[in-house]
Amino acid sequence: KHNSFIVWQGGDVEDFDLKFRYKVETDWANSGVQIRSEQFDTWRVRGYQPDIASEDWITGICYEEGGRGILARRGQKVVFGADGTAEVTSFGDEKALGDYIYKDDWNEYHIRARGNQFYARINGHKMHEVVDDAPEARRRGVIAFQLHTGQPMRIRFSDIMLRRVAPEAK
């Protein structure tokens, strides 16, 4: 009836590096990893989600589950001002970045969050970057892996490594 999540029980994280490997093993899959998110039910969260899916355009975007929707597509840096307005710039071609994502093999995801900014890399290539000073911005929260509603799917995660970093002095 709704997306569900495997929620890491190690507490909220603020500034961090998260690295893991994933492999989609079905024709259809939709998943992702929640960062700095809010858990509001046993298996449900809302917040920032660097995405993973079998659909060509989704992997590598940043989606806000239960919030503003797509925040940044592949190849975009999006800066949200204090009033919530977004300034979008492009640092890479969406399709060309998609060519670095392996459909039938393991991929390496790296997410780095510092202060009001975070970015995601897949297989060493930056996919998106978000700087968020909007009223709904989150600087800390849970980490969770998503299982989207829909038809059966299989996605594997391995080699999950989280390194917390002391927040920078303000």
**How far is the C-alpha of 98 from the C-alpha of 64, rounded, in Å?**
20
- Tell me which residue of 67, 70, 75, 77 sits closest to 130, measured CA to CA: 77
Distance from the first to the final alpha carbon of the chain: 42
Separation in Å, CA 54 to CA 32, 36, 82, 148: 11, 24, 34, 12
Rg for the chain, CA atoms, rounded = 15
List the pLDDT tens digit at each of the 170 positions of the chain: 778 888 999 999 999 999 999 999 999 999 999 999 998 887 789 999 999 999 889 999 999 999 999 999 999 999 999 999 999 999 999 999 999 999 999 999 999 999 999 999 999 999 999 999 999 999 999 999 988 888 888 999 999 999 999 987 65
Q: What share of the chain is helix, strand, coil (3-state, %, to 5)?
A: 5, 55, 40
Q: Are 41 and 164 in contact (CB under 8 A)?
A: no
Which residues touch 141 (CB under 8 Å, ≥6 apart)? 12, 13, 34, 35, 36, 37, 38, 47
**How far is the C-alpha of 124 from the C-alpha of 110, rounded, in Å?**
8
Task: State residue 94 phi and psi, 5-degree precision.
Answer: -55, -50
Q: What is the pLDDT of residue 170?
A: 59
